[in-house]
Structure formats: C-alpha cells, structure tokens
Amino acid sequence: MNVTSDPAAAGLFDAVFAREPAGGGHYPGGPVADDRAWLRSLLAAEAALARAAERAGLVPAGAGAAVTRAADPAQFGPSELAELARASALTGNPVPGLARVLARKVGGTAPAAVGAVHFGATSQDIMDTAAMLLARDALGAAAADLTAAADSVARLAAEHRHTLMLGRTLLQQAVPVTFGLVAAGWLAGLDSAVEWLGLVRDTRLAVQFGGAAGTLASLGADGARVRSLLAAELGLTDPPLPWHTERLRVIDVGTVAARGCAALSKIARDVTLLAQTEVGEVAEGPGDAGGGSGAPRRGGSSAMPNKSNPVAAVAILGCAKQAPGLLATLVACAEQEYQRAAGAWHAEWQPYSQLLRLSVSAAAWSRDLLSNLQVDRARMAANLAGAGALPLAERVSALLGDSLGPLRAHDLVAAAAIRSAASGVPFRDALLATPEIEDRLAQAGIGPGQLEEALDPAGYLGAADGFITAALAARKPG
C-alpha cells in the first residue's frame, strides 16, 4: 500500500484515468479506490467491527465509540502512513500494521477499549470488507454519471428521431438511418449498464468475517452473531458463510465495472468516427474544461493549432481498453488454495482498484461528452445526399425481386450501382440505362416518379421510429 502523505496530490495521468464523478457529491471523501479511499474503508471496517462486538456484549461498553473515534482517517498523518507502508512489506498486507497503529491510538485515550480493535478478525476480513465498501461507493458514483449520460442520450434520441443520416456497416455506407436511432442504441447500452451496476451494488456486496480459517473459532458460538451485527453496521449483505476463497463477489464487481466501460466504448468509438474531419456529423462541445483567452483549449494539439480533438471520447476509450485485461486478472485470481490463498488474493488489490477507478472515470467523461455533444444535421444531410441514392439500392432490388427473382435483381442493381459510382452518373439514370431493369420496372407499373419515391431515404427507415419509441419507453423511472 503506497499511501501518499498529500491527499490533494494528483498523479500525472489522474485527470484522464482517475477523473472524479462529474456531477459532484456522488463519492464521499475524494477519489475512487485510491490509497486514501482504501485507508478510509479499512478504518470504517475496523470501527464497525468494534461497534458490532460491543452490541454483542463481548467488549466493554463504550469500546465501539472509542475505536470509531480513533479510526478517523484525518488522524493518520505522514508518520502513521509511512508506518503502514513499512508494515505492509513485513506482513504482505497493510492490515496488521493498521491494527497496531489503531490499538495504540485507542490505548492513549481509552485503554479498556484496546481489546475491541480487530476483534476476532483476520487481515482478509478487513481487506475484503473494505473492498466491498469501495465498490459500493464507486459503483454508485459510476451509476450516477451513467444515468446522467443516459438522460442526455434520451434527449438526443427524441430530438433527432427524424434526423436522417447514412448508416454505416463495416465502415462503409449502408442504408439510411436516423441519428435518433443511433442514440437509442447508445441508450439501451447505458441503461443496461446502470441496471447491472445497481444489481451488484444492492445484492452482491457482502461483509467478510471468518477469522483465521473461516470458522470464527475464536468467538465460539458468538461468531455468526457478530458477523450479522457487522453487516448491519456497514449496510452490507450478511452472507451465509465467509467467502475467503470463493471470489465471485469480486468478479461480479469487476464484471459490471467492465460492462459499463464496454457500453461507453461503443459510444465513444462512434463519436470519434462521426467527428472525423471528412465526416463531421458530430463534435464535442467545450465541456467543463473550457477556458478563456490564454487558457489551454479543450481538444487542442501541441503541434497543430487547427486541431480540435475529441478528448472526452478518446479518454473514455483509453479507460475502457484497460478494463478487459484487469477483469481477466480478477478471474484468474479466483483459483485459490484451501482456506486462504497464497498470492492470488493479494494479486486482486491493484487490478480491482484500477478497474473501479477506470469505470468511474469513463462514466464521468461520458456525462461530459454526451451532455455537450453537438449534432450537425446539415452535415448529415449533405453526406447522405452525397451518396447519390446508392444507399437505396437494397430497396430497388426488392422492387425488382418479384419479377426478376431476388438473385438476378440483386446482381443487376449491383452492376448499376458500380457504374454509377465509377462514372458519376446518378444512380437513377444508371438503373434506367439497364434495359432489363427498365423493362421490368415498366412491366411492374413502376414509372420514373415511383422510382424517385423509392430512392427517397426518408421512405426507407423501416421500424426505426418504433425502435426509438421502445428504447425510450423501456427506461426505468429514477
């Protein structure tokens, strides 16, 4: 545990990969899952254990309050933090050192309460419980910003329900869609991410309390009662038994954090592509980092003054691309020996912390990105018009399918599309210059006016409008 003596100190990359919740007030006490957050959660677990032991009548009255007063993170100055760091190297984790420092502090003011410190616990009990407290706050913070991002996307879906644009598949132009439908797809992913974050936060975060080997032997018949009281003190689930080497709860936390990153990576990648100079259909707004004259410019380049890079989208992708590897490490760590693991448990701490930080950071960036996203309707219309009706080739092929057969119709329309693209001749003219197509259209009673109608992108949107309505209606209140 590398606990900095300056809680305000920021790492070089923290503004990108450890961005605090954009809405403010979601996460108590500072950055997510950093060393200070771990210290705060470890102390909260120790204090709650002392209170639980007192409620069970196993330590003197007032001991819980005495330990809680001593377990104030503000009372841990540079010397104590350095002591914890040294102790971690001696014992393989920071809890034994923390228990010693805490007992010393309690002994200075309430000697009779010293026995309540770390009562009946093993180091993993405190570390795992602290990890659950970290997850509760971090998942809540991520969910709050993802919900705000989803609210912005829902507004975009409704506002741009009829905004036509090119669909693109395999990075090539496809049939027309609407930007409202694109936003509805984003919305579905965000809403699912929020739902699963809440599910794990509400049902899978459990207190850990098993003692030396998961039997709570030192507490005799009182062990399970103390565990239940500890869970109540912290507002965590009281599990049926200790889970020292059953690590699915940790994996569940990592999974929903990674799911949130995955949902955001799709949105961020779309934004980077749509914001390309040659496409120019969306742009990032100034966000919350805009500055006045002389201030650093959001999206600026160190070399090219003309650049306006999609910083928020890029930052989201930078966070999200790290998530799969971190989750894979947590899954690999689930193979643990006997009643307590030799190394696999220890290997969880850093990827777990980093995954929580990245998921919260990506969510905060998404709130910024999507609340300020600028949509260029005119550019979308121009790009669609520039495609020269070629995106409607599928519709023309369907019109001819009954008389020519699907395969023959497809091949003839494909040939006309190739000629149109190569020569610059309008697709309509290329179709009518194909004798077999012209004859079949005439036989089907389809004249030039009906062909023009078939080449109108607004008439070939299928169920897009209904899909938008469904995505908006599927949102859960609150």
CATH number assigned to the domain comprising residue 245:
1.20.200.10
Q: Considering only CA atoms, which of 390, 30, 19, 437 is closest in space to residue 176? A: 390
Is there a single domain that holds both residue 129 and residue 277? yes
Place of tokens 């012209």: 438
For 282, phi then psi, to 5°, come to -135, 165
pLDDT of residue 469: 98
Is residue 5 over pLDDT 60?
no
Is there a single domain that holds both residue 46 and residue 181? no
Mark which of 97, 119, 141 sits at the end of a domain: 119
Tens of pLDDT, residues 430-449: 999 998 888 888 887 788 88
Q: What is the tally of structural domains in the chain? A: 3
Is there a single domain that holds both residue 377 and residue 321? yes
Under the phi-then-psi rule, with left for phi > 0, alpha for psi from -120 to 50, and beta for the rest, what region is 6?
Answer: beta
Is there a single domain that holds both residue 76 and residue 152? no
Is position 17 within any domain?
no
Tens of pLDDT, residues 129-175: 999 999 999 999 999 999 999 999 999 999 999 999 999 999 999 99
Is position 53 within any domain?
yes
The pLDDT confidence band at residue 7, using thresholds 50, 70 and 90, is: very low
Tens of pLDDT, residues 230-282: 999 999 999 999 999 999 999 999 999 999 999 999 999 999 999 999 999 99
Is residue 9 over pLDDT 80?
no
The CA-based angle 164-166-168, given to 5 degrees, is: 145
What domain range includes position 66? 29-119
pLDDT of residue 442: 83
Tens of pLDDT, residues 273-319: 999 999 999 999 886 544 344 545 566 655 555 567 899 999 999 99
pTM of the model: 0.92
- Residue range 95-106: mean pLDDT, rounded: 96
CATH number for 51: 1.10.275.10
Is there a single domain that holds both residue 345 and residue 267? yes
For 174, phi then psi, to 5°, come to -130, -160
Place of tokens 């290997």: 347
pLDDT of residue 58: 98
Is there a single domain that holds both residue 174 and residue 257? yes
pLDDT of residue 60: 97
Tens of pLDDT, residues 380-399: 999 999 999 999 999 999 98
CA distance 378 to 345: 55
Cβ-based neighbour number of residue 42 at 10 Å: 26
The CA-based angle 5-364-473, given to 5 degrees, is: 150
Mark which of 119, 145, 170 sits at the end of a domain: 119
CA distance 186 to 471: 10
Is there a single domain that holds both residue 101 and residue 170? no
Is there a single domain that holds both residue 360 and residue 410? no
The pLDDT confidence band at residue 462, using thresholds 50, 70 and 90, is: very high
Is position 14 within any domain?
no
Is position 3 within any domain?
no
Mean pLDDT of the chain: 92
CA distance 365 to 311: 9
DSSP assignment of 312-339 equals HHHHHHHHHTTHHHHHHHHHHTT---TT
Is residue 2 over pLDDT 50?
no
- 32 DSSP β-pair partners: none
Is there a single domain that holds both residue 138 and residue 112? no
Known active-site residue 340 = yes
CA dihedral (339, 340, 343, 344) in degrees, to 10, reads 60
Is position 16 within any domain?
no
> Would you say the C-alpha torsion 42, 361, 359, 24 has a positive or negative sign?
positive
Is there a single domain that holds both residue 406 and residue 381? no
Is position 57 within any domain?
yes
Alpha helices in 333-434 (DSSP H): 344-371, 377-386, 393-404, 406-423, 427-432
Tens of pLDDT, residues 18-57: 898 865 444 555 678 999 999 999 999 999 999 999 999 9
pLDDT of residue 422: 94
pLDDT of residue 288: 59
Say which of 340, 379, 408, 419 is annotated catalytic: 340
Is there a single domain that holds both residue 343 and residue 411? no
pLDDT of residue 296: 55
Is position 205 within any domain?
yes
Mark which of 74, 103, 119 sits at the end of a domain: 119
Is residue 119 over pLDDT 60?
yes
Is position 4 within any domain?
no
Say which of 5, 79, 218, 301 is annotated catalytic: 301
- Residue range 403-428: mean pLDDT, rounded: 92
Is there a single domain that holds both residue 115 and residue 185? no
Place of tokens 């949102």: 475
